[in-house]
Amino acid sequence: MKINQAFTILQQAGGIRAARIITENVKNLPALKVWIMARKLRRGVPVAKIIGQKWFYGLKFFTNKHTLDPRPDTETLVYAVIADCTNNNPRNILDLGTGTGCIICSLIKNIPNSCGLAIDISSSALRVARKNIKALGLCDKIQTIRGSFNNQKLTKQKFDIIVSNPPYIAHNDNRVNDGAMHDPKLALYADKNGLAAYEAIATNAKDWLNNNGKLYLEIGINQGKDIQNIFKKNNWNFVCSHNDLSGIERVLVFDLVAK
């Protein structure tokens, strides 16, 4: 099928932006493949899931049905960490619930002398993360293990930086858009009105952070105060918050209360 024909079909199914991204990134466009992609667009499947890739913080990441697609909101988390790393001191980074690995890969690429550990409970997600780590040439800097931040014995290492974009959507929240319907539920939803993962991290991450380290968390809309209270009860100190490009509080930063 000619590129202009494919573009027209895809535009009618998902709009001009979707058609442009697909035709610019998919080399082979036989008619059957185009019609299948058009059908997926009509069903609300995100373009990233259709072409299997998404750009994040200037880097290209492979993504599939087993991982969240990297989102611009999460770049706020990466920016907050990088902005605090003003010197070339070596930094060891822990990524809790790594998914595609987009957070830790972006950090390691942009913070000199850094290395890290990426953890996810999903073996399928870890396969995606490992693929991205390899593609970005970071195999010597990032290790991966399967595990849960509910497990206090997850790791014996200590880290200078801990980052996480945990599941934070309440099970009864009806604000989830069509695109998120195609993301893994394990990475989206959490018990206790979306706060269960934060309670686990607040309880366990104290054993994984160096005394002078910081913890950076992506949060959902209007969750800031509840999450601050959770961490305060667990003897964490609130440092600051960061808003995303829409002006929504998106990242909370904590450190350990001095003993």
Report the C-alpha gap between 234 and 184 in whole angstroms.
29
38 and 126 inside one domain = no
**b/e sequence 31-49, b meaning 16+ C-beta within 10 Å:** eeebeebbebbeeebbbbb
Same domain, 167 and 220: yes
| Domain-located, residue 48 | no
27 and 130 share one domain: no
Q: Are residues 16 and 138 in the same domain?
A: no
The per-residue pLDDT for 176 is 65
Q: Give the relative orientation of helices 123-135 and 102-110 as an angle to the nearest 10 degrees.
A: 30
Quick one: pLDDT at residue 198? 96
Mean pLDDT, consecutive 10-residue segments, the chain of 259 residues? 91 94 91 94 92 95 93 95 92 97 97 96 96 98 94 90 92 68 83 92 94 95 95 96 95 87
Whether pTM > 0.85 for this model: the answer is yes
Helices vs. strands in the chain: H and E counts, helices first: 11, 11
Three-state SS for 84? helix
**Is 150 found in the same domain as 71?**
yes
- Are 26 and 122 members of one domain? no
In a domain, 38, yes or no: yes
Position 183 scores a pLDDT of 83
Whether residues 122 and 83 fall in one domain: yes
**Same-domain pairing of 74 and 24:** no
Total number of domains constituting the chain: 2
Give the 3-state secondary structure of residue 184: coil
In this structure, are 79 and 181 located in the same domain?
Answer: yes
186 lies in the same domain as 252 = yes
CATH at 141: 3.40.50.150
Same domain, 35 and 79: no
Stretch (H or E) spanning 242: strand 236-243
Write out the residue range of the structural domain in which residue 30 sits.
Answer: 3-43
Residue 87 belongs to some domain of the structure: yes
**163 within domain boundaries:** yes
In a domain, 177, yes or no: yes
Query: 124 with 90, same domain?
Result: yes
51 belongs to a structural domain = no
Tell me, yes or no, whether 251 lies in a domain: yes
